[in-house]
């Protein structure tokens, strides 16, 4: 399926990680304008790498273990205005941590996250949404190798996995700096958490909340404001 953003277009038919609300939220929430180097872990169709390129002048590396996703990301990036600033690699994050020789200003990831749920039939869905392909422990350990003192790690997870990852991060010297709790509708519970971690402990964690849809089913004003640099609002649900 082809999805048009304000400044680029993404095809995601062959990718593990599709264009969706999670990616839209994370890519809009992260502010990479001062970054010189960015890593997108589990890039899928390349949407987060492209959003980071639109929002910065950084050199961007995007990695994924799924070859069709890597090929699709390369095609999407080649058609974008930022083809010269984004490289795509078919490799796991632990291998990239050993080979890249780079410590990134920003690491961004929409990782596989359903740790204890039933495994889906589709192998692409299995890679995209289950911890069988990338454990949170591996993600954390590899990210630490790829960060310098001023780096940030931005991640979106379900609430339970987010709490688990925060505890793991604290035990390894990575500290929560900013958090956004997300729910789909006003009457629903929070189902996602966006988090930014740093190697230096913040005096105070910045906390916020977001409801994606109004009770009528249209996007909330806060969601529209947050995603306005990317979203074409003639499409109701990304």
Give a yes or no: residue 49 inside a domain. Answer: yes
CA distance 145 to 29: 24
Give a yes or no: residue 232 inside a domain. Answer: no
pLDDT-based confidence at residue 238 (cuts at 50, 70, 90): very low
Give a yes or no: residue 106 inside a domain. Answer: yes
Give a yes or no: residue 143 inside a domain. Answer: yes
Tally of domains within the chain = 1
Give a yes or no: residue 171 inside a domain. Answer: yes
Domain enclosing residue 94, as ranges: 2-227
Give a yes or no: residue 86 inside a domain. Answer: yes
- Going by DSSP bridges, is the β-strand pair 104-109/86-90 parallel, antiparallel, or unpaired? unpaired
Contact 6, 28 (CB under 8 A): no
Sign of the four-CA dihedral 140, 142, 145, 147 = negative
Q: By C-alpha distance, which of 32, 33, 34, 27 is closest to 10?
A: 27
Phi, psi of 42 (to 5 degrees): 75, 55
Contact 50, 82 (CB under 8 A): yes
Phi, psi of 154 (to 5 degrees): -110, 135
Which one of 13-17, 184-188, 216-220 scores highest in mean pLDDT? 184-188
CA distance 50 to 143: 20
Q: What was the pLDDT predicted at 16?
A: 76
Q: What is the pLDDT of residues 59-72, one digit of tens each?
A: 999 999 999 999 99
* Residue 140: CATH number of its domain: 3.40.50.150
Sign of the four-CA dihedral 46, 230, 183, 20 = negative
Contact 212, 182 (CB under 8 A): yes
pTM (whole model) above 0.75: yes
pLDDT-based confidence at residue 152 (cuts at 50, 70, 90): very high
Give a yes or no: residue 237 inside a domain. Answer: no
Q: By C-alpha distance, which of 158, 45, 49 is closest to 104?
A: 49
Number of other CB atoms surrounding residue 135 within 10 Å: 14
Contact 18, 45 (CB under 8 A): yes
Give a yes or no: residue 233 inside a domain. Answer: no
Q: What was the pLDDT predicted at 86?
A: 98
CA distance 156 to 168: 15
Q: What was the pLDDT predicted at 231?
A: 86
């Amino acid at each position: 399926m082809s999805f048009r953003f304000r400044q680029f277009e993404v095809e995601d038919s062959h990718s593990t990680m599709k264009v969706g609300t999670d990616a839209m939220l994370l890519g809009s929430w992260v502010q990479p304008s001062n970054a010189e180097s960015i890593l997108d872990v589990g890039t899928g169709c390349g949407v987060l790498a492209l959003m980071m390129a639109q929002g910065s002048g950084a050199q961007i590396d995007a990695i994924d273990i799924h070859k069709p996703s890597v090929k699709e990301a390369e095609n999407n990036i080649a058609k974008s205005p930022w083809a010269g600033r984004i490289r795509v690699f078919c490799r796991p994050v632990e291998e990239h941590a050993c080979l890249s020789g780079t410590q990134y200003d920003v690491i961004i990831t929409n990782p596989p996250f359903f740790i204890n749920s039933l495994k889906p039939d589709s192998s692409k869905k299995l890679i995209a949404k289950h911890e069988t392909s990338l454990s949170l422990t591996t993600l954390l350990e590899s990210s630490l190798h790829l960060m310098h003192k001023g780096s940030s790690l931005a991640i979106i997870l379900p609430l339970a996995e987010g709490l688990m990852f925060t505890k793991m991060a604290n035990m390894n010297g990575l500290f929560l700096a900013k958090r956004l709790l997300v729910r789909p509708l006003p009457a629903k519970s929070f189902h996602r958490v966006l988090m930014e971690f740093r190697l230096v402990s913040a005096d105070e964690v910045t906390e916020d909340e977001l409801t994606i849809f109004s009770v009528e089913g249209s996007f909330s004003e806060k969601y529209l404001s947050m995603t306005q640099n990317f979203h074409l609002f003639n499409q109701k649900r990304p």
